[in-house]
Amino acid sequence: MKQAKDLYDTYLSERWIMFCAGDITAYGDLVDYNFNSLYHYGTRFSPDKDLIKDCIQDLFMDIWEKRGKLDHIIAIKPYLFQSLRNNLIARLKKQSRFSNLSVNEELFSNDISPESKWITDEIDELNNSRLLNGIEALPKRQREALYLKYYEDLSHEEIAGIMGLQRQAVANYIHYGILKLREYWKYKTILLAMITDYMI
């Protein structure tokens, strides 16, 4: 998994350098390789498919126009995600359909590695609708942080940059999101057992 990610990052970096130099083929590759991830990320903010696609198109048109000034970008994927996020939020605010949630800046120092292992194991089985429904029931910020962490494999620092948060706030969102998923999972398991017992 890590080796595949490293290969992808290397490939992306090479294409980015070529794109910044004006290579239209490299630009097309960047669009092709990032469109789906950006689109799925966009659905965290709005169900409007056309709006998301428009914002992604605007993003790629914008970076093409600024390509000569983007060769300093090292973290390419976080840069694209943050740019799309800013574009979507601006559009949604204009349409009066988006409201920011307050950021919980409370410090939390507990180690979350056991929870990280749990959520990773569960996401490996995406066909389990209970987990997916639980994620969709979370508040927007928690949902976004979990999505970026476990679906896009970004670090806390990268997520913080994308979401405009402190690293600790990202850790909090992920930690409390996992706790809520655990509660949701436990409730659904108990409910399922009760229904099964009733049917028997």
- pLDDT category at 117 given cuts 50, 70, 90 is low
| Residues 131 and 192 both lie in one domain | yes
| Residues 71 and 124 both lie in one domain | no
The most confident of 18-22, 113-117, 131-135, by mean pLDDT: 18-22
Q: Is the pLDDT of residue 123 over 60?
A: no
Among candidate residues 35, 59, 94, the one where a domain is terminated: 94
CATH number at residue 16: 1.10.1740.10
The values of phi and psi at residue 197, to 5°, are -60, -40
Where is pLDDT greater, at 122 or 105?
122
Where is pLDDT greater, at 123 or 59?
59
| Residues 122 and 164 both lie in one domain | yes
- For residue 68, give the DSSP letter: G
| Residues 132 and 68 both lie in one domain | no
Q: Has residue 143 been placed in a domain?
A: yes
User: How confident is the model over 39-59, as a mean pLDDT?
Assistant: 90
Among candidate residues 94, 124, 150, the one where a domain is terminated: 94
| Residues 77 and 132 both lie in one domain | no
CATH number at residue 156: 1.10.10.10
Q: Is the pLDDT of residue 27 over 90?
A: yes
Q: Has residue 20 been placed in a domain?
A: yes
pTM of model > 0.75? no
Q: Has residue 101 been placed in a domain?
A: no
Q: Has residue 83 been placed in a domain?
A: yes
Its domain, for residue 152, covers 113-199
pLDDT digits (tens, 9 = 90+) for 165-183: 999 999 999 888 888 877 7
In this structure, how many other beta carbons lie within 10 angstroms of the beta carbon of residue 148? 27
Q: What six digits make up the tokens of 24?
A: 């239209």
Q: What six digits make up the tokens of 187?
A: 């409730």
Where is pLDDT greater, at 59 or 136?
59
Please give the pLDDT value at position 67: 92
| Residues 8 and 40 both lie in one domain | yes
| Residues 6 and 88 both lie in one domain | yes
Distance of CA 51 to the CA centre of its chain: 18
Where is pLDDT greater, at 105 or 115?
115
Q: Has residue 107 been placed in a domain?
A: no
| Residues 8 and 89 both lie in one domain | yes
Please give the pLDDT value at position 162: 93
Q: Are 144 and 163 in contact (CB under 8 A)?
A: yes
State the residue for tokens 């992808």. 8
CA 50/CA 65 separation, integer angstroms: 22
Q: Has residue 72 been placed in a domain?
A: yes
Q: Is the pLDDT of residue 60 over 80?
A: yes
Closest CA to 52 of 100, 7, 87, 10: 87
Among candidate residues 65, 94, 123, the one where a domain is terminated: 94
CA 116/CA 130 separation, integer angstroms: 18
Q: Is the pLDDT of residue 72 over 60?
A: yes
- Number of structural domains (the chain) is 2
Percent of the chain with pLDDT over 90: 36
| Residues 89 and 120 both lie in one domain | no
State the chain's mean pLDDT as an integer.
77
| Residues 87 and 142 both lie in one domain | no
